[in-house]
Amino acid sequence: MQSRMNVISLLMTLLCFCGTSTSCPSGCSCNVNRTDCSDLNQLASLDSILNQLPFDTSYLNLSNNNFTTVEPGSFSNFSILLHLDLSRNLLSTINPGCLSNLSSLLHLDLSRNLLSSLSPSSFSHLNNLEVLDLSENLLARLPVNLFSGLGSLRELVLRDDRLKELNPDQFKGLTELRRLDLSFNSLSSVPTHLLDGLQNLVWLSLMGNKLRTLQQTSLEPATALQHLLLEGNPWNCNCNLISLKHWLEWITYTGGSVDSANCSLPANLHGKDLRTIPMEMFRHCYPLYLETRNPSAADGHQVPPGSAGDCMRQRYRTVSVRRATATVVVAGVVCGVVCVMMVVTATYGCIYAMLMAHEQQQLIEGNSQQQQPLMVAKEPEQDEKEDLMPTIGKGAEAKECVGWMAFPPEVCV
Ligand SMILES: *[C@@H]1O[C@H](CO)[C@@H](O)[C@H](O)[C@H]1NC(C)=O
Ligand SMILES: *[C@@H]1O[C@H](CO)[C@@H](O)[C@H](O)[C@H]1NC(C)=O
Ligand SMILES: *[C@@H]1O[C@H](CO)[C@@H](O)[C@H](O)[C@H]1NC(C)=O
Ligand SMILES: *[C@@H]1O[C@H](CO)[C@@H](O)[C@H](O)[C@H]1NC(C)=O
Ligand SMILES: *[C@@H]1O[C@H](CO)[C@@H](O)[C@H](O)[C@H]1NC(C)=O
Ligand SMILES: *[C@@H]1O[C@H](CO)[C@@H](O)[C@H](O)[C@H]1NC(C)=O
């Protein structure tokens, strides 16, 4: 009897155990406050699954189930939920009220869905949310107030979306934000005031966007920034990037890290890392650099595309024009001097030749009376020269020499 009673009680316990476990939908694993309904591989709707779940779960994984919609109020009974993973589904929007009553939620993963638009109040009740992952969706623009209720947010992932531009107030009020991932979007500018008030931001990625320029003034409000990722942008390393280069050097010097920022333009700096380009290459920028440090001229938006390149070209042009002018002036002066020297030399030569001719003529006139044959006439000419040279030489030397030494031979001092 005793053993039979034991067997019955054991069966009862097993039945009871099986009874409680039915509150976990098939395919899910439910452990205390942790419910994993990822990869269900069945055509159940989200609501039918949620209806079978224990409400006291604090961790809920609904990843990879091809869910297409979340109905308003679906999660309203999960008021102690801390961690919700809805990644890798087919959600195209998050309607207002879908996530209401999840005010305890700390971590929300909506990555790898088909989200293309979000209503401004999608996340408005998630006062305690610390991590929001919206990566790998189709978001081209975000409502300005989308994150305004998320005062506790520490990490925001907008990686691999289709963002083309951001409103300067997009991240307003996210004073606790530490990590901001904007990589692999289509951003062509960073608004000057985008990071205003993000005084706790430590890590920022702008990798893989379409940024050609970035002003130091855009980064300065993020006073705690230590890690910056800039790779994979078509940086135009002209004078406008000098302030960024200085800022990158400063961040590195203060113990932070910056990845490479390889230049696309200008052609002579193509593929070169902005951080390692010697300042000497930006020497021509200096007057311009002082202008760009003026905050009114520093807004990335206000620089029309291509103007920076034009500006650079103009500087090159003025420099080359200046050089050409200098060359002409120098050449002119040298030519003038040479010409004057030539004229002087020619005049001197002429006068000398005339004098010589005159003397020669006098000598010939004297000799012509002898009427000697041409061959014989050469000897007296040589003699004449021998006779002439000392007289000319002595005459010329006499003017220049200070005195004559008495030693033989006579030496001019
Ligand atoms: C589950 O609850 C226990 C206490 O009941 C808590 O210590 C643990 O952190 C919780 N786990 C999760 C994932 O919330
Ligand atoms: C999701 O849908 C794809 C096809 O659209 C299918 O291959 C995949 O198995 C589905 N996943 C689940 C979990 O149902
Ligand atoms: C949810 O489940 C998926 C698939 O099993 C897993 O890759 C993912 O890391 C889980 N999410 C969390 C937050 O643990
Ligand atoms: C919440 O729970 C109550 C009962 O506890 C139930 O009647 C209601 O349908 C649930 N709401 C949702 C949205 O599942
Ligand atoms: C949200 O929670 C409050 C209590 O905190 C409750 O009164 C309200 O009915 C809940 N909303 C929904 C839609 O269940
Ligand atoms: C940037 O340039 C460095 C060397 O100049 C190279 O090693 C690196 O792969 C380049 N990065 C990219 C993303 O092209």
Provide the whole-model pTM. 0.69
Q: Is the pLDDT of residue 307 over 80?
A: no
Ligand nearest the Cα atom of residue 235: 6
Q: Does 305 fall in a domain?
A: yes
Ligand 2, atom 12, residue with closest C-alpha: 41
User: Are both 184 and 286 inside the same structural domain?
Assistant: no
Dihedral of CA 34/38/41/43: which sign? positive
Q: Label residue 175 by pLDDT band (50, 70, 90).
A: very high
| Residue 48, domain member (yes or no) | yes
Residue of 83, 71, 79 whose CA lies nearest to 45: 71
Q: Which of 309, 331, 353 is the last residue of a domain?
A: 331
| 42-62 per-position pLDDT tens digit | 777 888 888 888 888 999 999
Residue 204 has pLDDT above 60, yes or no: yes
**Do 217 and 327 belong together in one domain?**
no
Residue where one domain finishes, among candidates 280, 299, 318: 280
Same domain, 272 and 296: no
Choose the residue to mutate in 29, 58, 83 for probing ligand 1, maximizing ligand atoms within 8 Å of C-beta: 58
Which stretch of DSSP H or E encloses residue 257? strand 257-258
What pLDDT sits at residue 291?
A: 55
How many structural domains compose the chain? 2
Q: Which pLDDT value is given to residue 161?
A: 96
Q: Does 64 sit in the ligand 3 pocket, CB within 6 Å? A: yes
5 domain-assigned: no
Q: Let me know if residue 173 belongs to a domain.
A: yes
Ligand 3 pocket test target in 31, 33, 85 with most atoms within 8 Å of CB? 85
Do 297 and 242 fall within a single domain?
A: no
> Bigger pLDDT: 212 or 394?
212
Give the pLDDT band (50/70/90) at residue 200: very high
Same domain for 114 and 220, yes or no, is yes
Q: Give the domain CATH number at 256.
A: 3.80.10.10
Structural domain ending residue among the three candidates 280, 315, 350: 280
∠ CA 91-62-40, nearest 5°, is: 105
Whether residue 232 is contained in a domain is answered as yes
The more confident residue out of 65 and 336 is 65
What local confidence, expressed as pLDDT, does residue 225 receive?
Answer: 95
Q: How far is the C-alpha of 71 from the C-alpha of 75, rounded, in Å? A: 9
Ligand nearest to the CA of 54: 4
Shared-domain flag, residues 265 and 296: no
pLDDT at 63 over 50: yes
pLDDT for 365:
64
State pLDDT tens for residues 112-161.
999 998 999 999 889 999 999 999 999 999 999 999 989 999 999 999 99
Domain limits for position 163: 15-280
Poorest-confidence range of 83-92, 224-233, 250-259, 367-376? 367-376
Mean pLDDT of the chain: 77
Atom 7 (ligand 3) nearest CA: 63
Which residue's CA is minimally distant from atom 2 of ligand 4? 77
Q: Is 344 inside a domain boundary?
A: no
**Cα gap 133→139, rounded to integer Å:** 12
Give the pLDDT of residue 326.
63
pLDDT value at position 350? 62
Longest dimension (CA), the chain: 178
Give per-residue burial for 108-132: e unless 16+ CB within 10 Å, then b.
bbbbbbebeebeebbbbbbeebbbb
Residues 152 and 294 reside in one and the same domain? no
Q: Is the pLDDT of residue 166 over 70?
A: yes
Of 77, 98, 100, the residue with max ligand 4 atoms within 8 A of its CB, to mutate for a pocket test, comes to 77
pLDDT given at position 352: 73
Same domain, residue pair 226 and 314? no
395 domain residue, yes or no? no
Judgement on whether residues 118 and 158 belong to the same structural domain of the protein: yes
Identify whether residues 161 and 265 lie together within a single domain.
Answer: yes
Structure confidence at residue 96 (pLDDT): 83
Give, in degrees to the nearest 5, the angle at Cα 65 between 63 and 69.
Answer: 95
**CA of 33 relative to ligand 1 center, distance in Å:** 6
Q: Are residues 194 and 91 part of one domain?
A: yes
- Taking a C-beta distance cutoff of 8 angstroms, is the pair 128, 150 a contact? no
Q: Are residues 257 and 151 part of one domain?
A: yes
The DSSP output letter for 74 is T
